[in-house]
Amino acid sequence: MTFSRKKTHMALVTITIIILALLSTYPAFSGHFFAINSDGQVHLARLESLYQALRSGRFPSLINFIGFDNHGIAVNAMYPWPTLLIFVIPRLLFQSPMLGLAVGFLLMNIFTLTNAYWLAKSLSKNRLVLWLGVLAYQFNSYHFELMFTRVAIGEAFGYAFLPLVIFGLFKIWKNDQLGIVWLAIGMGLVGNSHILSLLLFTILIAVLELIRIIRRKFTRREFKQLLLSAVISILMASYSLYNVITWGLNNKLVTPTPILLGMNPSYGLTNLLNNDITESSTGAHMGLAVTLLLIYLAAQLFSRPTGQWRYWTIGALSLWILAQNWINWPHFATTPVSLLQFTMRILTIVSLLIMIGLILFLNQVNWNSTATTIFAGLVIIFIGVSGVTQIHERAAQDFHWAQHHTQPTTLVKRRLIRHLTGRNYLANVNHMTMPDYHIQKDTVRTNPSFHPQTNQNFQLALQQNWRKVAFDWKGARQFNHFRATDQTVNFNITLKQQRSVKLPVVGYHHVNYQVIVNGNNTTFWHSGGQLKTKLPAGSNKVEVSISNESRHLGLFILSCFAYLISLGYVFFYRSRSRKDAQATRSGY
């Protein structure tokens, strides 16, 4: 292929990816609103904190005074924020929170499609085959559920970067030097997005390498390359990993709700047939088209006894079966496995394994049916997009229903506020609170016992988690909050007499707090999971602020340098390879 033809091909691929990303994103924002949920409101508060910091020229804080009842929960410390910049920077450019959100999801879909394309291209030279694989991964209904009904942005980032991780791993298996860098970049991006996904993908790589050891394909060179890639990826994610580790070690934190729910096959089948991607912890699915592809590949296992595609198909099928509630998953709710919370999260890996198995299978059968491929691709796209459209239209109907009900019931209020627009954006930012990452009571048992009723019901488990929080809720209601920024929060309180009072702010250890009362710096101390200080009688204005530590900014700069050096190495390596190839063709 000549240089001009390569440029034309790259341009066509880029245009196709952008069109598919627009097709994936627009339905969730049609009608100029977005159907938000509780998890989405958590991320809106995080985005608002990042936006205010960057707009003011400050490095983002690890404590969130914005949202979460302004209690200053360390969400950004425990939940990596760097990749959220794809939502924040567009907002800074366009000065529109809704447009920033839409552009952020558009970029996320571009990343997903690009990474899936690179992986598919490394597996097949047949354009029909590789694009069918890309569509099966991108327009998977579970992918849209992650983004637009669960609004699990961290997991959606994991879904976007997993193909890049496997792309790098495959290159290492082929002794390609660039595999080290691509694997490191992929895992580094995951580490800067979602720690649970990082753990899952690390386990996936370990299992794949164990299989290679058993099959005697693992080499010393491969081990060195994996080790070097791991070191680079740790450098890339050093800022986020340092925050999670140090905050976890220095503070006894309430973890996300400890529960482990398996997928319900009967409920999942109903949602599958109805193409319903409603937020559900037990009824998630991959869409009818992708599920049929998995069934087809599984059926081929009995008629085609050879081929690498068989191992990836068996892996996908095994994990899908493992995720069902045929195993009594709630019994593992008191073990470290409960970090998973919902076995449907395994579907991210299943989706990728299906993509790989499908491409390798079609390679083996020398697939060349253009009409069938186009038809299958359109069906996959239609099912994925119509699932988003259906849930979006339902949200619009719920909103219109709530508008015509004058009684402010809980249901009416929820449907009104979850119809996210520019008008109620800030109301959504300040709407959500959660027990996660508060200081935990000293009286909480280290090894809780198994309770069948609690461990099989998320709401009951959530209530149990709230009871672990060390916080004086009654005392906090005495304060009137009137302002919060990314680094400060202000309260008013009137007292009849001087006394020591717990401030309505979570008190973490190894954090540089400053408490100002009526314009004067005041001594404070930690007490029962909060900050405590003496307040005089009368009306008091209280300001609590934090300062960024230089080591946090230093680690962030180190992470950025690791990415820049790695990308520079890729550019240099490819440029040198291109020159060597040209020299070879010229006869030198």
Read off the pLDDT of residues 201-236 as tens digits, 9 standing for 90 and up. Answer: 999 999 999 999 999 999 999 999 999 999 999 999
Give the C-alpha separation, 481 to 491, whole Å.
4
Give the C-alpha separation, 416 to 402, whole Å.
6
Beta bridge partners of 506: 530
Q: Is 50 exceeded by the pLDDT of residue 167?
A: yes
Percent of the chain with pLDDT over 70: 95
pTM for the whole structure: 0.94
Burial class of residue 465, CB neighbours in 10 A (0-12, 13-18, 19+)? buried
Residue 241 in 3-state DSSP? helix
Specify the pLDDT at position 6.
Answer: 82
Read off the pLDDT of each residue in 504-526 and give the average, rounded to a whole number. 94
Specify the pLDDT at position 4.
Answer: 75
Specify the pLDDT at position 164.
Answer: 98
φ, ψ of residue 503 to 5 degrees: the values are -75, 150
Beta bridge partners of 396: none
Residue with tokens 């994990």: 319
Confidence of residue 462 (pLDDT cuts 50, 70, 90): confident
Cβ count within 10 A of residue 328: 11
* pLDDT higher at 50 or 575: 50
Beta bridge partners of 515: 544
List the beta strands (DSSP E) in 169-255: none
Specify the pLDDT at position 587.
Answer: 47
Q: Is 80 exceeded by the pLDDT of residue 556?
A: yes
| CA dist list (Å): 187 to 68, 157, 171, 198, 367 | 30, 11, 15, 7, 33
Read off the pLDDT of each residue in 508-522 and give the average, rounded to a whole number. 93
Specify the pLDDT at position 457.
Answer: 78
Residue 286 in 3-state DSSP? coil
Confidence of residue 166 (pLDDT cuts 50, 70, 90): very high
Q: How many CA atoms lie within 13 A of 421 on its CB side?
A: 11
| Summary mean pLDDT of the chain | 92
Cα 162 to chain center, whole Å?
11
Specify the pLDDT at position 263.
Answer: 95
> What kind and span of H or E run contains 425?
helix 425-429
Tokens matching residue 114: 């690009």
Read off the pLDDT of each residue in 281-288 and give the average, rounded to a whole number. 94
Q: Is 80 exceeded by the pLDDT of residue 57?
A: yes
* pLDDT higher at 545 or 584: 545
Cα 415 to chain center, whole Å?
24
Confidence of residue 496 (pLDDT cuts 50, 70, 90): very high
Q: Is 90 exceeded by the pLDDT of residue 335?
A: no
Specify the pLDDT at position 198.
Answer: 97
Q: Is 70 exceeded by the pLDDT of residue 454?
A: no
Read off the pLDDT of each residue in 367-375 and give the average, rounded to a whole number. 96
pLDDT 10s digits, 178-203: 999 999 999 999 999 999 999 999 99
Q: Is 90 exceeded by the pLDDT of residue 240?
A: yes
Tokens matching residue 448: 């809780």
- Determine contact, residues 487/58, Cβ cutoff 8 Å: yes
Read off the pLDDT of each residue in 500-510 and give the average, rounded to a whole number. 94
Which of 48, 32, 87, 36 is closest to 426 using CA atoms? 48
Q: Is 70 exceeded by the pLDDT of residue 449?
A: no
Specify the pLDDT at position 450.
Answer: 46
- Determine contact, residues 307/360, Cβ cutoff 8 Å: yes
- Determine contact, residues 487/514, Cβ cutoff 8 Å: no
Confidence of residue 3 (pLDDT cuts 50, 70, 90): low
Give the C-alpha separation, 355 to 380, whole Å.
13
Give the C-alpha separation, 312 to 242, whole Å.
34
Which of 465, 1, 494, 480 is closest to 257 using CA atoms? 465
Do the strands 34-35 and 524-527 form a parallel or antiparallel pair, or are they unpaired? unpaired
Give the C-alpha separation, 165 to 168, whole Å.
5
pLDDT 10s digits, 397-443: 999 999 998 788 989 999 999 999 999 999 999 998 999 999 999 87
Lowest mean pLDDT of 3-12, 202-211, 379-388, 476-485, name the range: 3-12
Read off the pLDDT of each residue in 18-47 and give the average, rounded to a whole number. 96
Give the C-alpha separation, 313 to 302, whole Å.
12
Lowest mean pLDDT of 41-50, 119-128, 498-507, 541-550, name the range: 541-550
Confidence of residue 588 (pLDDT cuts 50, 70, 90): very low
